[in-house]
Amino acid sequence: MEAGVGGPTRAEIGDRTLRNDRWWLTPLITFTVFSAFVVYATFRAFWGKYYFSEPYLSPFYSPCLSDCVEGASDFGQPFKGFPLSAALIILVFPLGFRMTCYYYRKSYYRAFWLSPPACGVAEPHGSYSGETRFPLLIQNVHRWFWYAAVVVGLILTYDVFLAFGPAEGESDGIHMGLGTLILLINVVFIWLYTLGCHSCRHIMGGRLRHFSKHPVRYKLWTWISKLNGNHARYAWLSLFSVALADFYVWMVAAGHFTDPRFF
């Protein structure tokens, strides 16, 4: 017996869809932008160069834990001698967090696997098991990646504080340049994305019988719910901001661009 759109309980419709709007546009844009990001991030993560220009550290390489260029390591180098780029040691955490994010899942299932490509459009696959079996069952680790993402967020926030430090040749004290601003904007988007996570919302307000008995958790849950309503937006914004922050550090570190200093 056929399952899915061909199942016995579904209306028999010969066409793949009755939609006549441009339903293919969103998956196409998602496919293009995600692919571009993956190519860029992979290249940068493997390159192992131009990720630090005092006082800026690229978010792809933070924390730098192995054979870092001078000044880039704030937490020691326990993986000294690691044969590949330092970014590859920590990449699994932000990457795992995003790959298993509920919003990204919806997006890449639609854009890459056409499963389904859009609401009201039949998918090309004959059967559908959703996330009930291996390997997609693994997506359930998302809540654990959330804890790792909080640690990564705290480290990136620390990097922003350091970015208010002096650049080469400047006196001690508080300074600010365009790079500081870019890293600051990036970390704001990262937090808006991380705190608006569905798992975070559940951790804060899930499994409670009475909100009235947990007023603080209820308050936090209402704030998180507001962020959660814009989760897709922050997913995109933080994706762009993290790539932009890395690109900026690359340009400054390679000497292609001089960081304007505000004070």
CA 254 to chain centroid, in Å, comes to 25
Q: Under the criterion CB under 6 A, does residue 102 sit at the interface with ligand FES?
A: yes
Query: Rounded CA gap, 168 and 253, in Å?
Result: 12
Q: Under the criterion CB under 6 A, does residue 234 sit at the interface with ligand FES?
A: no
Q: Under the criterion CB under 6 A, does residue 197 sit at the interface with ligand FES?
A: yes
Residue ranges in 150-189 that form contacts with ligand FES under rule CB under 6 A: none
Name which position in 53, 62, 180, 199 contacts ligand FES (CB under 6 A). 199
Minimum CB separation from ligand FES for residue 167, in Å?
A: 34
Minimum CB separation from ligand FES for residue 177, in Å?
A: 30
Minimum CB separation from ligand FES for residue 86, in Å?
A: 25
Mention every residue, 6+ apart, whose C-beta is less than 8 A from residue 164: 55, 174, 175, 176, 180
CA-wise closest residue to 65 among 56, 55, 74: 74
Give the nearer residue to ligand FES in terms of CB position, either 86 or 98.
98
Query: Rounded CA gap, 57 and 71, in Å?
Result: 9
Query: Rounded CA gap, 220 and 260, in Å?
Result: 38
Q: Under the criterion CB under 6 A, does residue 231 sit at the interface with ligand FES?
A: yes
Query: Rounded CA gap, 5 and 254, in Å?
Result: 54
Tell me if 135 sits within 8 A of 179, measured CB to CB: no
Query: Rounded CA gap, 144 and 3, in Å?
Result: 33
Give how far Cα 140 sits from Cα of 73, 95, 194, 196, 259, Å.
Answer: 33, 15, 17, 17, 42
Minimum CB separation from ligand FES for residue 242, in Å?
A: 14
SS3 122: coil
Q: Under the criterion CB under 6 A, does residue 103 sit at the interface with ligand FES?
A: yes
Give the nearer residue to ligand FES in terms of CB position, either 109 or 250.
109
Q: Under the criterion CB under 6 A, does residue 198 sit at the interface with ligand FES?
A: yes
Give the nearer residue to ligand FES in terms of CB position, either 198 or 214.
198
Give the nearer residue to ligand FES in terms of CB position, either 183 or 197.
197
Region from 62-70, 151-159, 194-202, 214-222 binding ligand FES, contact rule CB under 6 A = 194-202
Query: Rounded CA gap, 111 and 214, in Å?
Result: 40
Q: Under the criterion CB under 6 A, does residue 101 sit at the interface with ligand FES?
A: yes
Q: What residues line the site for ligand FES (CB under 6 A)?
A: 101-103, 142, 146, 197-199, 231
